[in-house]
Every structure is written in C-alpha cells, then in structure tokens.
Structure 1
C-alpha cells in the first residue's frame, strides 16, 4: 500500500500504483477501508504448540508449577516480577496457589514454555484481552526464568504464539502492552517487530503504583514478512553448536 495523503476537509487518498484510491462514503466523508467477508475469529483453544527449541503447553498446575518455581528461584533477585501484577513469590506453595487459579483462566490463557532439551517448564506467557469480533488479541504475562532468557527458545515462544494467532486463528491485530518504564519489555517488543503506537497516561494502578502503558502492535499485513524473518533466524543453521546466533534477528 502506498503513502497516505491527507488534507483538511477531503477524503483520505491512498496511492496504489499510479491510480489513486479514495476511501469515502456517499457523503464525501473519509472512511476506513472495507473489510470484505469479515467474520468473528475463534477464541484461542490450543493446548500445545510445538516448535524446534521449545513447545508451549497450556499451564497445568500439576505438571508445571514445581519446574517453574525452581526455574524462577534461580534469579538473583525479584526484579523480573516488578512490572507484573503479582509476585515475587517467596515459597513454592504461594506460587502454586496463584498458578492453580491462572491455569483455570480462559482470559488470560496462560502457557508454560517447555524447553525441548530438558522437557522442563522454564517460563510463561499468555494470550489475553481476547476480542474475536474485531480480530484483536494481546500477548502478556511474559515471565522468563534465567534458563530461558536470551536463548533461541525465548524468541521461538513468542513466534509460536504469533503464528497461532495469525495463521491458525486469523486475527487482524496482535498487541503488546507494558509499563512505559519497563525498558527491557519495550526493547523486546521492538526486536520482535512490534510497532510503537503511543503511551496511555495513568492507565492503571498496579501494586499501589501508577502505570503509564506503552502500546505496540503487529498487523496481519505485516505478519508474512515477519514470519519469513523468524523462520530464517530460528533455523538451526543460524546457530553454532553452543546455541550462539550467527545472524541477529534485526539483521536477517
């Protein structure tokens, strides 16, 4: 799609090749592009999403909790929980109590990240704020243990959810939101191909603190190019025997 030209009082004109396309209604007002044959999308229902470096499994308190607690306990401090609405958890029983409730939730729908080499759960993430009528969904509750951080599996876990949302479910928009002060989360969103859209000031109160929320998104029209980049980066040929990347995701 070409550039968008705007002028006061005139409809939006999008240049497609050499023939301008005007999106306007019978009153001459600018309107959004048609979405022909749109139907509501299905809700996420996958219980397992397999990959090369990892797999995503629907969070199961009986199978995943001890692995997850042990993995999170390897962190030197509780900073990974600062921007989440829960934690840090000081005991396995406290974490289990939260995880049992989270495992029953449909929205957010929590997944455990299972490392292929060990078959252990080493992190979690979720699909949330499901809006099937408009084809919009968000990834959230991302918490990676030290064993998962900066590994090929950490990126593949995000890819597996994106692939499921766009390819299997046919959603139009995939969102990432985070505390505007959470620089690691913002860098991760940009590295993964999300576009920054702005910051909602005083959006929520969490853990007794104000949170301004930074919004990011990927659109279905952007997904094919991103998928090609992910497929190339995640290929085994892009990593050395000790799992060091040869090309960075941004350079693929």
Structure 2
C-alpha cells in the first residue's frame, strides 16, 4: 500500500519533482569481456549475421519473431536495411570478441522518453550466441546502459505467452513477470497473448551485482562451464536477505 497521500487524504504515487524526459538511445558501443554490443550497420554486419543464423538446423528460432525465417541473404538484407532506418527504435549487434564476428541482434524499442520506459525486443540470437556467457553479458551491458547512462525507470521484456524459452530467459535475467495481455497481437496469421515482464531502476543495483558475480572469471572452469548458475546466485542472495 502506498505511503503517499494528497491533500484530500487520497493515496497517490511517489512524487518525482526532479523528473525530466530521458534521452533516446544512441548509436553507442558497449564493450565487455566476452562480447561487444554495437549499433547495427548493414554493410558491416549482414554477411556474418546471415551466416550465424544459417547455422541453425531449421527455422524454429523465428517462430515467435514478427519476421523470418528468410528465404535468402537478400531478403534478410532488406529486413536489416529497414531496421537500420527506423527512427523509433535502435538495433544493436552482438559481436564475439574472440572472433570479431556478429552473432546476434536485439533492439531498444517502444521508447517512452517522457515516462522513462523502454523495451528490449526483437532478440535474435544465433546458435553461436545462445546459452553462452556472451548472451548474458550482452543483456547485462544493454541493461547497464539503459539504467546507468540513460537513467530510465522501467525496462520491459515482452513475448508470446507460448514462448517458453523467452519467458525462462526473462526470469533468469532478473525480470519480474507481470501478467498476460490476452489477444494482444495478431502476427504471422495467428493470435498472440503477450507475457509482460519488467525490471525497475531500484532493482538494478542488486541485479547488477548478481550479473557481476556470475560473469566473474572464477565462476567458470577451464572448459568454460559455469560453476554456479545465475539463478543459484540470485537465490542465495534472496535467501540471505530473508
């Protein structure tokens, strides 16, 4: 229950007297240990990205995306070109720092600068990126940019409610499940109920510490396998704070 009331004794939200509109995401490069996140450039990235996605055995990775799978590189190039030209979102490419190859993309979208709300979406990670430290670090870098440089208040994740891997990923990354928007979208000729998740600015500091503990070099053995999972690290922290 809110602790704030107005002059009529009615409960109201927390006052934000110093609030101001936030900036739109920039074409910025973010560098980590495993990966680099940089703005999409079709001319520089299309070949490596298409090759990375082509390594998948079938088109199932595109089932819950609004686009794809693509019949050939030119079709994918056309999609990337349109994406690069969009003014209402900013697409970023994940680069494997070991190979300097592009291995996936994601975007900051549905940007609400007035209210400090932003969504990470269009997450298209290739087989070379999925379930790797690079994937986690890429999300960590983008979250840090949103909360620490752009100073947004709310970071959203949305997906088809039937997309179990995406829902698991959101929870693993520290998002809170908020509910289902029924019959919210029609795409690819079918209905979609949308699952909503969020991470707030006041939750980010602890979430950041969990990421840093998981990404620490001593949390991986000589074969690169994690010693302790991110979920276990978060669970230990929650248990210790109870």
TM range (shorter): over 0.9
Q: Where does structure 1 lack aligned partners over 5 or more consecutive residues?
A: 5-11, 13-21
Question: 2:95 — aligned with what?
Answer: 114
Distance 1:232 1:46 in 2: 28
- What TM-score does the superposition give when structure 2 sets the normalisation length? 0.94
> Whose RCO is larger (CA < 8 A, sep 6+)?
2
Distance 2:150 2:223 in 1: 35
Q: By how many angstroms is 1:30 displaced?
A: 1.0
1:178 aligned to 2:156?
no
Q: By how many angstroms is 1:68 displaced?
A: 0.5
Question: 1:31 — aligned with what?
Answer: 12
CA offsets 1:96-116 (integer angstroms, 9 cap, x no match): 111111112232211110001
8 A contact 1:107–1:127 mirrored in 2? no
8 A contact 1:233–1:249 mirrored in 2? yes
CA offsets 1:205-233 (integer angstroms, 9 cap, x no match): 01111111000000001000000010111
Aligned length: 233
CA offsets 1:109-144 (integer angstroms, 9 cap, x no match): 111100011100001101001001101000000011
Q: Where does structure 2 lack aligned partners over 5 or more consecutive residues?
A: 234-242
SS in 2 for 1:150: coil
SS in 1 for 2:12: coil
Structure possessing the higher radius of gyration over alpha carbons: 1
Distance 1:152 1:213 in 2: 27
Question: 1:76 — aligned with what?
Answer: 57
| From 90, 93, 100, the counterpart of 2:71 | 90
| Richer in helix (by share) | 2
The 10-residue stretch of structure 1 (223-232 or 96-105) with the greater mean CA deviation from structure 2: 96-105
The 10-residue stretch of structure 1 (192-201 or 35-44) with the greater mean CA deviation from structure 2: 35-44
SS in 2 for 1:87: coil
The 10-residue stretch of structure 1 (38-47 or 166-175) with the greater mean CA deviation from structure 2: 38-47
| From 203, 219, 225, the counterpart of 2:200 | 219
Distance 1:96 1:186 in 2: 29
